């Protein structure tokens, strides 16, 4: 049933197309070896071709700057990669080379660098190897040298050592490519911020300038009037079409009022236009409103359209939660979903943290066909309309929040747990019971110490290592909460 639901959603909702991640690659070794050992260079170049092919298979555009043998050739490669505007540069140390061949690439490109050294096989055949054949296994030799020089140059160093067809090494390389997906997505993202801060939520308040200086993203400050004028242009035929789409995506509960459903569909079409007109990658919003005026009606009608946007890879978060919409976008970049959530309650009998939220939800994390439920009030806030309800798919999950420290710097915060079955609230929320492997009260205390806010993205799978790597590429701290 779940697979059918997810295929249906993917068939019905066209995902947002984004610029593909660019991985720069340069391979190299010390040219002084080539005249002495004629068979060495062809062997290393064959290894380099294998590396290129493996990187090509990792859902990224690879800019291969070739094989370099001295500092002059390395300088040419550095200029090629600088001009390519890569999201990550991989330097393959095929054998020993000097750090003077590597440093210019990292300096000129001004892009995170991953050093890899993959010897041909698991081990040398000591009985038959001569010096030339040994040198094909010598890529590890310059790793400490390059690390030392990078440190002295103030360049973050990261490396993967292994052998050419070692799948665990390629898993680690793949993790850095996943991290590059996050960096690429965030540094080209346009975040919509519409309305105003929910009164009193000081943790949600975010310095917009630091979003741009940290991630490279643009924040587009919007008015609810930007949405209002687009909603006013929506036709009845478009409303009917959007209601048909919603019926295909959701099960309608008997509590849904037809007028509220139609209004949510109308707002959904207007939201699509808003996102297209401003080329948005995320949207965070809130408007309180009074006495049923137009802006309050818009705010109450957001959930259907925001959930559909989120399912298309354009995360939408309520309560003006810009940092959480960014976290949801980063989670989507590594294929982990990412649904807007917070703590609901603790269950000490079962040892679980109950999590959820009314508002936009990510259909990818649903355990079964999501429900549209009619609401007369949202989570104690003014409003009415329809909300999305489902329980999160059982299995491993990661909570992922973005905190902001006293100096304004951002921090990625993660914790890994497991969604387990059990009783859930039926109040128009996405809900889950997460077992973090210990006392749920202790988990809340430890999680709260990290600096995260009271909302975060709930991601499918155990993805802390991937998000840690992304934080490293972005130059920010990663904090992880584990009870064991």
368 pLDDT band, cuts 50/70/90, is confident
Instruction: Say which CATH number the domain at 69 has.
Output: 3.40.50.10940
Q: Is the pLDDT of residue 1 over 90?
A: no
CATH number of the structural domain spanning residue 205 = 3.20.14
* Region for residue 474 given its phi and psi (left: phi exceeds 0; alpha: psi -120 to 50; beta: otherwise): alpha
The pLDDT, as a whole number, for residue 380 is 46
Please tell me the total number of residues recorded for the chain in this structure. Answer: 484
* Residue where a domain stops, chosen among 158, 181, 204: 181
**Domain-terminating residue out of 140, 160, 181:** 181
How much is the pLDDT for 271?
98
Q: How confident is the model at residue 359 (pLDDT cuts 50, 70, 90)?
A: low
Is residue 303 situated within a structural domain? yes
Instruction: Give tens-digit pLDDT for 158-199.
Output: 999 999 999 999 999 999 999 999 999 999 999 999 999 999
Domain of 96 in residue numbering reads as 22-181
User: Quick one: average pLDDT of 96-124?
Assistant: 95
* Residues 26, 114 contacting (CB under 8 angstroms): no
Degrees to nearest 5, angle at CA 82 with 79 and 86: 140
Q: What is the DSSP string of 28-49?
A: E--TTHHHH-TTHHHHHHHHHH
Judgement on whether residues 164 and 204 belong to the same structural domain of the protein = no
Average confidence score pLDDT of the chain? 91
369 and 467, same domain (yes or no): yes
Say what the pLDDT of residue 452 is. 95
Between 385 and 144, the more confident residue is 144
Range in 94-98, 235-239, 255-259 with the lowest mean pLDDT:
255-259
State which H helix or E strand residue 346 sits in.
strand 337-347
What letter would DSSP give residue 307?
Answer: H
* φ and ψ at residue 418, rounded to 5 degrees: -135, 130
Q: How confident is the model at residue 365 (pLDDT cuts 50, 70, 90)?
A: confident
| DSSP letter assigned to residue 334 | T
**Does the residue 11 lie in any domain?**
no
pLDDT at 392: 79
Say if residue 207 is in the same domain as residue 319: yes
Together in a domain, 162 and 238: no
Q: Work out how many domains the chain is built from and give that number.
A: 2
User: Does 113 reside within a domain?
Assistant: yes
Looking at the structure, tell me whether residues 176 and 197 fall in a common domain. Answer: no
CA distance 109 to 103: 10
User: Are 283 and 309 within 8 A, CB to CB?
Assistant: yes
- pLDDT tens digits, 415-446: 999 999 988 777 666 788 999 999 999 999 99
For residue 3, tell me if it sits in a domain.
Answer: no
Q: Are residues 235 and 171 in the same domain?
A: no
Q: How far apart are CA 202 and CA 465, in angstroms?
A: 29
Report residue 391: phi and psi, to 5°: -100, 145
Round to whole Å and give the CA distance between 90 and 116: 7
- Rounded CA gap, 211 and 326, in Å? 9
pLDDT reported for residue 5: 43
For position 379, what pLDDT does the model report?
47
H/E run at residue 113: strand 113-119
Evaluate if residue 4 carries a pLDDT over 60: no
Asked if residue 70 belongs to a domain, the reply is yes
State the average pLDDT over residues 390-397.
86
Q: How far apart are CA 210 and CA 382, in angstroms?
A: 31
Lowest mean pLDDT among 19-28, 58-67, 417-426, 434-443: 417-426
% of the chain beyond a pLDDT of 70 = 95
* Interval 316-335: pLDDT, tens: 999 999 999 999 999 999 99
Q: Tell me the range of 17-26, 224-233, 283-292 where mean pLDDT is highest.
A: 224-233
CA distances to 221, 231, 294, 299 from 225, in Å: 12, 10, 9, 11
In contact, 431 and 392? CB cutoff 8 Å: yes
Phi, psi of 3 (to 5 degrees): -60, -40
Distance CA 348, CA 292 (A): 41
- Same domain, yes or no: 217 and 300: yes
pLDDT at 382 over 70: no
Is the domain of 423 the same as that of 332? yes
**Closest by Cα among 64, 69, 71, 72 to 48:** 64
Q: What are phi and psi of 190, to 5 degrees?
A: -120, 115
Q: How do beta strands 430-435 and 410-419 pair?
A: antiparallel
Residues 290 and 413 in one domain: yes
What is the widest separation between alpha-carbon atoms in the chain? 87
User: Does residue 8 fall inside a structural domain?
Assistant: no
More confident residue, 104 or 371: 104
Ramachandran area for residue 389 (φ above 0: left; ψ -120 to 50: alpha; else beta): beta
**What is residue 484's predicted lDDT score, i.e. its pLDDT?**
79
Could you tell me if 247 and 378 lie in one domain? Answer: yes
pLDDT value of residue 371: 80
Domain stop point among 149, 181, 213: 181
Q: Is residue 7 part of a domain?
A: no
Whether 206 and 172 map to the same domain: the answer is: no
pLDDT of residue 383: 52
Cα gap 154→439, rounded to integer Å: 41
Strand 337-347 vs strand 316-317: parallel, antiparallel, or unpaired?
unpaired
Residues 224 and 168 in one domain: no
Mean pLDDT over 235-240 rounds to 98
Asked whether residue 2 is assigned to any structural domain, the reply reads no
22 Cβ contact list (under 8 Å, min separation 6) = 60, 61, 62, 63, 84, 85, 86, 87, 184
Can you give the pLDDT at residue 153? 96
Separation between Cα atoms, residue 72 and residue 86, nearest integer Å: 21
């Amino acid at each position: 049933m779940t697979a059918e639901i997810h295929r249906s959603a993917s068939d019905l909702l066209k995902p947002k197309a984004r610029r593909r991640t660019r991985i720069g690659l340069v391979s190299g070794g010390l040219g002084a070896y080539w005249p002495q050992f004629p068979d060495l260079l062809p062997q290393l170049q064959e290894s380099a071709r294998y590396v290129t092919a493996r990187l090509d298979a990792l859902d990224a555009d690879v800019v291969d700057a070739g094989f370099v043998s001295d500092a002059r050739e390395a300088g040419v490669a550095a200029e090629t990669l600088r001009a390519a505007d890569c999201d990550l540069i991989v330097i393959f140390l095929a054998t020993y080379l000097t750090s003077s061949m590597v440093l210019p690439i990292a300096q000129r490109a001004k892009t995170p660098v991953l050093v890899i050294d993959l010897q041909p096989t698991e081990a040398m055949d000591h009985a038959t190897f001569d010096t030339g054949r040994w040198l094909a296994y010598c890529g590890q030799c310059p790793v400490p040298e390059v690390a030392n020089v990078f440190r002295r140059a103030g360049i973050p160093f990261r490396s993967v050592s292994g052998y050419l067809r070692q799948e665990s090494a390629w898993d680690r390389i793949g993790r850095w490519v996943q991290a590059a997906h996050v960096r690429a997505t965030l540094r080209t993202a346009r975040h919509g911020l519409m309305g105003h801060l929910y009164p009193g939520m000081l943790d949600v308040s975010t310095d917009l300038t630091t979003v741009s200086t940290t991630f490279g993203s643009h924040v587009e400050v919007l008015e609810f009037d930007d949405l209002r004028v687009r909603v006013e242009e929506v036709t009845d035929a478009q409303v009917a079409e959007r209601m048909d789409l919603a019926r295909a995506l959701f099960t309608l509960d008997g509590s849904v009022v037809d007028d509220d459903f139609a209004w949510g569909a109308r707002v959904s079409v207007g939201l699509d236009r808003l996102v297209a007109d401003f080329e948005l990658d995320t949207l965070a919003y809130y408007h309180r409103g009074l006495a049923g005026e137009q802006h309050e009606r818009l705010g109450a009608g957001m959930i259907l359209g925001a959930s559909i946007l989120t399912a298309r890879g354009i995360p939408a978060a309520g309560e003006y939660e810009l940092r959480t919409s960014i976290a949801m976008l980063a989670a989507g970049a590594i294929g982990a979903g990412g649904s807007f959530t917070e703590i609901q309650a603790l269950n000490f009998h079962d040892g679980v943290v109950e999590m959820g939220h009314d508002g936009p939800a990510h259909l990818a994390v649903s355990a079964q066909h999501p429900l549209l439920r009619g609401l007369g009030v949202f989570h104690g806030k003014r409003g009415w309309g329809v909300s999305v309800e489902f329980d999160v798919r059982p299995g491993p999950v990661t909570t992922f929040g973005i905190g902001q420290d006293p100096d304004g710097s951002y921090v990625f915060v993660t914790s890994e747990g497991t969604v387990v079955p059990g009783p859930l609230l039926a109040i128009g929320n996405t809900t889950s019971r997460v077992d973090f492997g210990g006392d749920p009260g202790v988990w809340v205390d430890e999680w709260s110490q990290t600096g995260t806010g009271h909302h975060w993205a709930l991601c499918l799978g155990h993805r802390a290592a991937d998000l840690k790597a992304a934080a490293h590429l972005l130059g920010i701290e990663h904090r992880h909460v584990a009870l064991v």
